[in-house]
Amino acid sequence: MNEQISTAVSRQLSHIQIHHSEYKQEEDLKYFIPKGSQVITNLRQLPDAKAVSGRIRVNAMASTAHGSAGVTLFGIDPEDEAAVTGLSNHLSEGKYFDTGKRNMVIIGKKLKEKLQVTTGQKVVFTFQNSSDELTAAALRVAAVYSGNNSVVEETIVYVPANELATVAGISTTNVHEIAVLLSGNDQLETAAASIRKNYPALQVETWKQLSPELRLVIDSFNEYMTIIMGLILMALVFGIINTMLMAVLERQHELGVLMAVGMNRSKVFFMIVFETMLMTLAACAIGLPASWATIAYFGKHGIDLSNWSQGLAQYGIRTMVYPALELQYFIKIGAMSIASSMLAAIYPARKSLQLKPVEAIRKI
């Protein structure tokens, strides 16, 4: 879950996106953010803002001699975009935008495979300009990025904003989208509320609103964890019943002697329950720290899932996963284990009460 959030926020959505109130409905070039440059400057002053990037967005058709694909051209400021999405750090081949070269483009790994191009070759992008006229631009592939998300890699293309604006016939100061990366996810709602208050005419959305399917996964996480733990603890209950029942049956002679010398049945009952509790507490004392140490180790060094990279990419999960588990789950598991052991101890304890001292003493 954390990897999905981290990948979606850092490489695709950012924490907050801002658009013209009508842009998301039609995605028309004319729906710019009013005074976008000033808005970007103001957003950088937010105490929780780590980086801000303004983007021009143009829907286009990318074509080569080997194929074509529908894409979205992102006109970006290379430095700002690198700060928000870390684009410059996710290149699988080629180099980031060189200020000395023009008409360069960065495409995703999946799009590269679909169009069968390599760095240095040209791709023709066809789209409607600001005058609703069909125009085309031949851009050379400067680099290929790996986004750990096959949909993003196939549909998002990055171009310097000044070059895209010139071809599209729009001002270089105009932006369709502003992406805001915060210092942490804890400040998400506070920062979004502040931006909405300052810019009520704009559409301000958090990553939870931009990706409802990811939000559903996160909101359901606690329920999933409870169900999984319940199934595991159900197996634990039967394991404890089996262990304690065998302990009772194997010690019929000892229990018979205890009853014969005057131990009442209630004490025998609580002795079995207490023994079960001690066994469970000992297991928790060993198991919970061991699981914490294991999670802490792999949380630092990661688990390499590169053998399943293609399947994980469809869900936006990186091939190196760093597990984490909050303290509340250790407490919950410990409490549920103790409760389960008490429940499981009832049947073996009741079974011990059915023993008849005279017959039990004769057992070997």
Based on the domain organization, do 313 and 295 belong to the same domain? yes
Specify burial of residue 311 (Cβ count, 10 A radius: 0-12, 13-18, 19+): exposed
- At 312 the pLDDT is 64
- CB half-sphere exposure, 16, CA atoms < 13 A: 30
Asked which of 218, 246, 272 is the last residue of a domain, the reply is 218
Percent of the chain scoring above 70 in pLDDT: 96
Residue 56 confidence (pLDDT) above 90: yes
> Per-residue confidence at 177, pLDDT binned at 50, 70, 90?
very high
Based on the domain organization, do 71 and 12 belong to the same domain? yes
Based on the domain organization, do 305 and 354 belong to the same domain? yes
Between residues 130 and 293, the one the model is more confident about = 293
Based on the domain organization, do 82 and 181 belong to the same domain? yes
Helix axes 221-250, 212-219, angle to 10 degrees: 30
- Which residue range is the domain that position 82 belongs to? 2-218
194 is written with which tokens? 């502040």
Please measure the distance between the N-terminal and C-terminal CA atoms of the chain and give it in whole angstroms: 55
Identify the H or E element spanning 236: helix 221-250
| CA 176/CA 169 separation, integer angstroms | 14
Based on the domain organization, do 111 and 253 belong to the same domain? no
Based on the domain organization, do 196 and 236 belong to the same domain? no
Mean pLDDT, all residues of the chain: 86
| CA 84/CA 90 separation, integer angstroms | 12
Q: What is the mean pLDDT of residues 21-50?
A: 89
- At 317 the pLDDT is 65
| CA 146/CA 108 separation, integer angstroms | 6
SS3 206: strand
Based on the domain organization, do 115 and 30 belong to the same domain? yes
The CA–CA distances, whole Å, from 160 to 97, 115, 251, 292 equal 8, 21, 80, 46
Between residues 26 and 222, the one the model is more confident about = 26
- At 361 the pLDDT is 78
> Per-residue confidence at 148, pLDDT binned at 50, 70, 90?
low
- At 33 the pLDDT is 92
Asked which of 218, 247, 276 is the last residue of a domain, the reply is 218
SS3 45: coil
- At 259 the pLDDT is 82
Contact 83, 53 (CB under 8 A): yes
Q: What is the mean pLDDT of residues 160-187?
A: 89
Based on the domain organization, do 251 and 284 belong to the same domain? yes
Based on the domain organization, do 170 and 279 belong to the same domain? no
Asked which of 179, 203, 218 is the last residue of a domain, the reply is 218
- At 69 the pLDDT is 93
| CA 126/CA 29 separation, integer angstroms | 14
- At 115 the pLDDT is 93
Per-residue pLDDT tens over the stretch 253-275: 887 888 888 888 888 888 888 88
Specify burial of residue 101 (Cβ count, 10 A radius: 0-12, 13-18, 19+): exposed
What single-letter DSSP state applies at residue 335? H
> Per-residue confidence at 181, pLDDT binned at 50, 70, 90?
very high
SS3 231: helix
Q: What is the mean pLDDT of residues 308-315?
A: 64
Based on the domain organization, do 209 and 232 belong to the same domain? no
Based on the domain organization, do 229 and 204 belong to the same domain? no
Based on the domain organization, do 286 and 164 belong to the same domain? no
Residues 6+ apart with CB under 8 A from 108: 144, 145, 146, 147, 152, 153, 154, 155, 156, 157
Per-residue pLDDT tens over the stretch 94-146: 999 876 788 899 999 999 999 999 999 999 999 998 888 899 999 999 999 98
> Per-residue confidence at 318, pLDDT binned at 50, 70, 90?
low
**Range in 30-34, 67-71, 128-132, 188-192 with the lowest mean pLDDT:** 128-132
Contact 321, 9 (CB under 8 A): no
The CA–CA distances, whole Å, from 227 to 8, 220, 222, 334 equal 26, 11, 9, 15
Between residues 99 and 348, the one the model is more confident about = 348
Contact 195, 16 (CB under 8 A): yes
pLDDT winner (highest mean) among 139-153, 192-206, 226-240, 299-313: 192-206
- Domain count of the chain? 2
Q: Is the pTM of this model over 0.85?
A: no
